[in-house]
Amino acid sequence: MHAPASPHAASLATRIADRAAIVSVIGLGYVGLPLARAFVESGFSVLGFDTDPAKVEALASGRSYIRHIGADSVAAMIASGRFEATSDPARLASADALLICVPTPLTRHREPDMTYVVATAETIAATLRPGQLVVLESTTWPGTTEEVVKPILERSGLRSGSDFFLAYSPEREDPGNRDFTTSRIPKLVGGDGARARDLAAALYGRFVETVVPVESCEVAEAAKLTENIFRAVNIALVNELKLVFTAMGIDVHRVIDAAATKPFGFMPFRPGPGLGGHCIPIDPFYLTWKAHEVGVHTRFIELAGEINTAMPRWVVDRLAEAIDRRFGKGLSRSRVLLLGVAYKKNVDDVRESPAFAIWELLEARGAEVAFHDPHVPVIPPTRAHGPLAGRRSLALDPSTLEGFEAVLVVTDHDAIDWRLVAEHARLVVDTRDRLARAANVVPA
Ligand SMILES: NC(=O)c1ccc[n+]([C@@H]2O[C@H](COP(=O)([O-])OP(=O)(O)OC[C@H]3O[C@@H](n4cnc5c(N)ncnc54)[C@H](O)[C@@H]3O)[C@@H](O)[C@H]2O)c1
């Protein structure tokens, strides 16, 4: 486990042990901001770096832009005197550890978009100095840390493993989950060499209850993808079962409840209107892309993607049938209220939300569409669904509900008044098993 002595590593290890190391979190989004908060809370000084000046400004004035990180949290970070946000890259030279939490989306051709990771590595390389620890946290294909980040950093003339230290540690944040906060989620750490791994493990070990060192950066990168592929494939499986059981007149949710009583060998996943969020619909395709390089086709991943992306269309077909049966008319003469546009319950994140695909399918078939979401007052600009930006959430009251032929439950936020919906909606099509099967509720 122990690498030969290095003066740079030894002095960094001491600064980490004393909590004297300055930690820079690069990319202050859904992952970076909670991570920065966790380091501040455990006694480190944190320099947050983001290229978005609006975020830096918000943090400097004690405001949060992420619903589950309250303004009080940000205010407490600032009040500690150990947190500062900046968009000045020259400041990165002062950090002992630099943690990269920038986006890793897909390009229009569904290939890994490394732009943000590359830009960040170049920024760090410009001020890299001996004794710094760089950790990539962004989700990515196995090999990225050593094949993409390391060569850029080494252009500085410094060497990984002796001058600076490079590691990969995937983020496992589950936004909004109160049972598993950053410090309670075991943290995988792989290094470019044992020194880097041990330094990164020591750093996270200052506030994460369980750190799990693994053999290499690749193992940690591949483990993160495996976790998300596991979810994508299992969600696709229950989505497929939903189609089969619905056609047979069986409620898939009651089937899953029943199967979940088996105390071993089964894990319940829930079907829904389609995948959403920044991770599960995207990350599996990072492996698909890399697999082609070694001549392997990831058929499970492709199939899961196909089934999951077909769900919005299935839901719209179910809705059309239900409206036809109830009112004897087609979608083109109907008004539909989407309940929830966030990709999952109790968050305000709409990235990759299936609500948008459903919305566009409904409009393409002539329906008039509006939405209510207690956490999304206005639809933000998105790359794929630009025309929906600026649409406002309607107030949820009896007259709103009664004004639509159907209410389509896309996201089952706890903050929605479900009794009001059940009492006043003319027809509810429920993709989340949220409402009891009353006469006006159709599962989808
Ligand atoms: N959101 C999640 O629940 C989650 C969970 C696990 C892993 N991840 C992964 O973590 C990474 C970050 O995701 P996120 O959800 O926090 O994204 P995000 O979009 O919320 O935040 C990314 C931040 O990086 C900033 N940024 C972009 N380019 C930058 C640059 N060159 N330098 C500095 N800052 C830059 C953006 O302004 C933004 O504030 C991704 O790889 C994602 O797959 C996300």
| β-bridge pairing 187-191 and 165-168 | antiparallel
CB 276 within 8 A of CB 204: no
d(CA 424, CA 422): 6
- CA 16 to chain centroid, in Å, comes to 29
138 CB less than 6 Å from ligand 1?
A: yes
Q: What angle (nearest 5°) sits at the alpha carbon of residue 211, between those of residues 30 and 98?
A: 50
Instruction: Provide the angle, in degrees to the nearest 10, between the axes of the packed helices 299-327 and 354-364.
Output: 50
What pLDDT is attached to residue 146? 98
d(CA 117, CA 143): 13
d(CA 92, CA 320): 55
What pLDDT is attached to residue 173? 78
Span from the CA of 310 to the centroid of ligand 1 (angstroms): 27
Span from the CA of 139 to the centroid of ligand 1 (angstroms): 9
116 CB less than 6 Å from ligand 1?
A: yes
Which of 199, 211, 279, 337 is an active site residue?
279
Nearest to 385 by CA among 429, 341, 346: 341
For a pocket test of ligand 1, which of 47, 50, 59 has the largest count of ligand atoms closer than 8 A to its C-beta? 50
Give me the tens of pLDDT residue by residue for the chain, a chain 444 residues long. Answer: 455 578 899 999 999 999 999 999 999 998 999 999 999 999 999 999 999 999 999 999 999 998 888 899 999 999 999 999 999 999 999 999 999 999 999 998 989 999 999 999 999 999 999 999 999 999 999 999 999 999 999 999 999 999 999 999 999 977 777 788 888 899 999 999 999 999 999 999 999 999 999 999 999 999 999 999 999 999 999 999 999 999 999 999 999 999 999 999 999 999 999 999 889 999 999 999 999 999 999 999 999 999 999 999 999 999 999 999 999 999 999 999 999 999 999 989 999 999 999 999 999 999 999 999 999 999 999 888 999 999 999 999 999 999 999 999 999 999 999 999 999 999 999 999 999 888 899 999
The model carries a pTM of 0.93
Rg (Cα) of the chain, in Å, rounded? 24
d(CA 324, CA 157): 69
Give the per-residue SS3 of 184-202. Answer: HCCEEEEECCHHHHHHHHH
Instruction: Give Cα separations from 118 to 2, 44, 56, 408 (angstroms).
Output: 31, 27, 21, 41
Helix, strand, coil tally for the chain in percent (to 5): 45, 15, 45
d(CA 274, CA 312): 6
Q: What angle (nearest 5°) sits at the alpha carbon of residue 150, between those of residues 167 and 51?
A: 85
Instruction: Give Cα separations from 90 to 28, 86, 94, 182 (angstroms).
Output: 17, 10, 8, 28
279 classed as catalytic:
yes
For a pocket test of ligand 1, which of 24, 26, 28, 30 has the largest count of ligand atoms closer than 8 A to its C-beta? 30
Atom of ligand 1 nearest to the CA of 279: 43
Count of beta carbons in the 10 Å neighbourhood of residue 423: 12
Atom of ligand 1 nearest to the CA of 66: 20
What pLDDT is attached to residue 99? 98
- For residue 165, the cross-strand partners are 133
d(CA 246, CA 384): 31
The tokens describing 414, both together, are 């706890």
Instruction: Give Cα separations from 186 to 103, 182, 201 (angstroms).
Output: 22, 9, 11
What pLDDT is attached to residue 6? 85
What pLDDT is attached to residue 66? 87
What pLDDT is attached to residue 234? 98
d(CA 341, CA 320): 19
Span from the CA of 173 to the centroid of ligand 1 (angstroms): 12
What pLDDT is attached to residue 315? 98
